[in-house]
Chain A
Amino acid sequence: MTDPSPQSAIQNPKSSAAVPLKVVFVGHVDHGKSTLIGRILHDTDSLPEGKIDMVKKACAAEGMEFEFAFVLDALLEEQKQNVTIDTTQIPFRTARRNYVIIDAPGHKEFLKNMITGASRADAAILVIAANEGVREQSRRHAYLLGLLGIRQILVVVNKMDLANYSEKRFGEIESEYKNFLVDLSLEARAFIPASARQGENVASRSEKIAWYDGPTLLEALDLLEVRKADVDLPLRFCVQDVYRFGERRIVAGRIETGTLRVGDELVFSPANKSSMIASIERWNAPGMGWPSPEIRLESH
């Protein structure tokens, strides 16, 4: 059995074997991040069968209006307060490739959960509600993205339906936020006017926002790239443990940057002692002889 190479995975974008792009959704509380994610999952047909009906039924039972956000905000407390408390990861797929969506809470009380989610991302979608405009967490989250080293940023100006799909309102937010990002040495790949609740400019192009000729959110997502391993930098190998097998010492750990081969000379920090790599060990399992026919049952 051979594992598909990255090449064959790219030629076959439907394959779930390809490396996914991890994208975190950030922004101020109640600007519609979870709703936007719910909309993407719905419009790309990524939700399990019956999921929407189940959430609708649960909402009706509690006397609440249905929200796409409840698909992700799974905790009872999140649904009752209509706010995301903790970060969630959920896979989805477009025709071009696989994604892992990371939903991050927008309330300042849950900033630690936002960082937890964002630290694993290749790219970020920063959501700003058109009616409220740029707020405290819109700025703070961008600052944290910069700190975490995330350079691929898309800005979605959401809730355009609450701003009458106004080009002027969109332009105000775009120019204010663009200037703010410049101060952080960040640059957004795109500013996208959208309405998650109405499904405008998310998966399909909006007729109500005809003045906008940029990409939809899914089109812009498909242009982003998975973060590559930094193999061209000097070797940084964090030692996790040393395993002793008789006379042998195996240094276990992970390469963070650079490459490593037998014969390379290493400097160990903080003692500044050096040593040479004798071998690179990797354990591979031998064949096990299961399944054995006598254990195979006749029927379920």
Chain B
Amino acid sequence: MTSTTRTHLDQLENQSIFIFREAYHAFENIAMPWSMGKDSNVLIWLARKSFFGKVPFPVLHIDTTYEFPEMLKFREWATKHYNLNLIVKINTDARERGIGYETHDPVTVTHELKTVALQQVLAEYKWDALITGIRRDEDPTRAKERYFSARNVQFEWDYKDQPPEFWEQFVTSAAKGEHVRVQPLLDWTEVDIWRYIQRENIPIPQMYFAINGKRFLSLGCSPITQPIKSTAATIEEIIAELEATKTTERAGRAQDHHERNAMQKLRAKGFL
């Protein structure tokens, strides 16, 4: 058998594994943020494929304290079954100052409880690379990302002057205090993720499947993440729904729509 019969999913999987191994070889001190969402779980799956069943770096959950209870149960289950080195980080300082969805706008809360929390934990562990699960098709600013994308000490993304990236030559070093975002899922689309979850039988939280006529497309903080109307209760039905619909995946995520170019502003300041 030659490789000429490789499917699109095989190609995506191969490219992602290639990126994982490049990152693992190049960086000394890696962590992988993990939200327990579908893409995040595909990422863990690909890490295990890349390193023969083990995830050889810590997995980081930025706990906003607004997590869905099912997600926390999933976190517990997966940590045990995958034998993960889990680090949980909460921005307790912001919560003590009263930052929360009850009183503040979603961009402010997301920045404080996700981005600032990430800055705090990065300062503590001094990781030089973070492996993220972002995809180009999620958002127009993510569409402009590189596989290896540097962030400065302030976490800023210099999107106006990104380095060239071709022939698999990547930015594989970070100056002191800076870090590189490694993004193995950049080429995947939402449907690719679902087909791969189906093919590989990857465990995911059940909130993606319809109960009582509603399901979640994307999972974030509970006060600002809304389900959509859907009867799709299996992966086949979700894929069929995606092929027929034109609703965007992050439509139910309030922080993206708070103001014009909200995602660009969040991401320039360090949001994934």
Contact = CB atoms under 8 A, between A and B. Distances in A.
Contacts of B48: 283, 285
B5 to A, nearest CB: 6
B140 A72 contact: yes
B8 to A, nearest CB: 4
A74 B144 contact: yes
A288 B247 CA distance: 32
A75 interface: yes
Nearest to B15: A254
Interface in B193-241: 195, 198-201, 203, 206-207, 211-212, 214-216, 227
A49 B2 contact: no
A102 B126 CA distance: 35
A113 B162 contact: yes
Interface in A202-256: 228-229, 231, 240-241, 243, 245, 250, 252-255
B7 A17 contact: yes
Contacts of B70: 295, 297
Interface stretch (A2-10, A123-131, A156-164, A190-198): A2-10
A299 B212 contact: yes
A19 interface: yes
A90 interface: yes
B81 A288 contact: yes
Given A241-B24, A252-B21, A259-B3, A295 B206 contact: yes
Given A6-B5, A19-B11, A240-B25, A77 B45 contact: no
B33 to A, nearest CB: 21
B73 interface: yes
Contacts, number: 163
A18 B8 CA distance: 6
A241 B2 CA distance: 23
B21 A17 contact: no
A74 B140 CA distance: 6
By DSSP majority rule, is chain B's interface helix, strand, loop, or mixed?
helix
A19 B4 CA distance: 12
Interface string B47-72: 01101110000000000000001100
Contacts of A240: 18, 21-22, 25
B136 interface: yes
A82 interface: no
- For this complex, into which size category does the number of interface residues on chain A fall? 35 or more
Given A19-B8, A90-B143, A291-B203, A61 B260 contact: yes
Given A1-B201, A6-B5, A17-B195, A300 B143 contact: no
Interface residues of B, number: 70
B162 A1 contact: no
A116 interface: yes
B156 interface: no
B21 A112 contact: no
Given A14-B243, A47-B246, A245 B201 contact: no
A9 B195 CA distance: 13
Interface of A: 1, 3-6, 9, 14, 16-20, 47-49, 51, 58, 61, 71-72, 74-77, 85-91, 100, 112-113, 115-116, 119-120, 148, 228-229, 231, 240-241, 243, 245, 250, 252-255, 259, 281, 283, 285, 287-292, 295-300
26 contacts: A1-B201, A3-B195, A16-B191, A17-B7, A19-B8, A19-B11, A47-B246, A51-B248, A76-B261, A77-B160, A88-B143, A89-B143, A90-B143, A91-B137, A113-B162, A113-B164, A148-B166, A231-B4, A240-B21, A253-B21, A259-B2, A285-B49, A290-B203, A295-B77, A295-B206, A300-B214
